[in-house]
Each structure stands twice: as structure tokens, then as C-alpha cells.
Structure 1
Amino acid sequence: MMYNGILKTFPGEIRLFIAAFVVVLSIGFFTGLLFVKQTDSTAPAGVEENYLGNEADEGAEVMKFKKGEREMLTIVHTHILSMSFIFFLLGGLVWLAKLPKKWKLFLTIEPFFSAVLTFGGIYLMWMGVSWMRYVVIASGVLMTLTFTISAGLVLFQCAVPKK
């Protein structure tokens, strides 16, 4: 079955539908990143503080408390489930775009690893494995890059039909 580049051959109204979906999906994804920035979780110390609290720091501007196990399980559960759906749907669209197979494979498989490493890493960090904060940041950055590239690729190929 020939599917490489089929996205460009879809009728205009279907490409518009797909583009609208990817735009709204991107708004949701990047709003989540704004939340991460708002909680000062973009640096290793901020990631750790966000989940483990800062009660010992008397000079802290905002007091944060260690999250409970129920809250941590809810965070990990909801994020891994929602990220798997996001990347499954976006990945399906990437496979319909015109791009070499090796790039498609990377863009569609890597985010699943990053989702597990990011949110599993947050849980392990909370459990006391403090070096996981670096894994959380690295995998989160990689996950964001693959999302951005994938969404951009799909939007571009929806905007430029096959001639």
C-alpha cells in the first residue's frame, strides 16, 4: 500500500479538517508547556522542587509542598495516557505525509519513549532518584521537539496540495 505523501492528495476540505485538528492539538500541547514554565519546572532544581516541595528553604518566595502518592499517580497516569493518544493521532498523520521512512519512524516512535521517560522519571525522582530530574528535562525537550516538527510537517503538507 502506497501511503507516503498521500496527505497532500486529500481533498481540500479534509486537509482543512486535519489542519484544524493539528492547530487545536498544538494549542493544547503548548498551553501545557506554559503551565510548566509557570511552575518554574524548566530547570533541574525547579523540576525537583515542584514535586518534592521546598519546605526546607526559608527564603522561598512561594512555598511548595511535596506531592502525595495519590497526586503523583494521577499526574503520571493522566499524562502518559493523554500523551499516548496525542502522539498516536499525530503519528498517524505523519505516516501519511511525504517524508523518508527513517524520519517517520523516529518522529512517531520517539515520543512514546519520551512520555514514559518524562513522567516515569518524575515519579522516580519523587521516589528519591534525584538524578532523574535531568532525564525528565532531556526527554521533555525531545518530546516537544518531535511534537513541533511533526505538527509543522503535517500542517505544511495540508497547506501545500500535490500538484
Structure 2
Amino acid sequence: MQRILILGSPGTGKSTLARSLQKHLQLPLYHLDQAFFRANWVESPDQLNHFLQTTLPTSTWIMDGNYYHTLPARLQQADTVILLDFPTRLALFGVLKRYLTHRNRTRPDMAAGCEERLSFSFLWYVLRFKHEKLGSTKRMIKEHPHLAYYHFKSRGEVKKFLAQLC
């Protein structure tokens, strides 16, 4: 576990898991949202691509975030993938909890100047995530047999995994 990708719907705890792994494994942690966004939620695909070109070849990292157009390159460089595949209702709960916790502030895993917000389009993305993204994600992971693959369907499974690491 030297190059770890954490994938899954928004609200499933990717960043929380990434911070726990970073604390235990002492690997550099990168939140892809910080590389993709600039202040005020301005998207910067070029900034993300540059970040990945310079970071993927390094020997150790933990990355959380989906950004599917970059997933093939990240899977090729990773040695471990963790997929958080929780029920949609739990993902929605996580998104709402995150919003209420960080409303009008920038959360630690976001780019500076991106205050927490909630929109209908984002909630719709979370609602459609399993249907539109999960199948293709699993297929892409299976195309990389070199990966250690952890597929968690509950927070309890994640807690057991973390307990075994410690």
C-alpha cells in the first residue's frame, strides 16, 4: 500500500478515510478537489492534469476523488484501490451532514476559497452515482489485475479494515 486511490460517491467518506490512512501509513495525501478547483469553485482541468503528471510518478501517495477522465492513468500507477460503495441514502446523508458542518466555510479537503455549498445538480449527481458511475468504475478496476482491491459496502467494513491496519 504505497499508491492508494480512494473512489466512491460524494458523501461516503473518501476524504475521512484518506486522512485516517495518511495518519497510519504516513504517506502524502492529495485531495483531487484541491487540484481541480480554484477559489470560488472555478474549475481548472489544466491544473488537475499538471498535478497528476507531476504526482503520479512519485513513489508514494494517497489520492481521494473520482474525476473519471483521469481514472485510467491513476489506476495504472496505483497499487491499491479502495471503492466506497455505500447505499445512496447514506451518501446523501453524508453530503447533507458535510454541508451543515462546513456551511459558509471551506472544508479541509477543498481548494482555498471554495465555501461549502449544496445545489440540486450536486444532489442529482449523488442520486445517479450508482447508476451512472459505479459499473464503469468497477470495470476499469478489473482491467488492472495488479491492484489490491478493497470494495466496502458499509462504514462498518471500513472501520474493520482500519482496525486491522493499526
Shorter-chain TM-score: which interval? under 0.3
After TM superposition, the score normalised by the length of structure 1 is 0.25
After TM superposition, the score normalised by the length of structure 2 is 0.24
More strand by share: 2
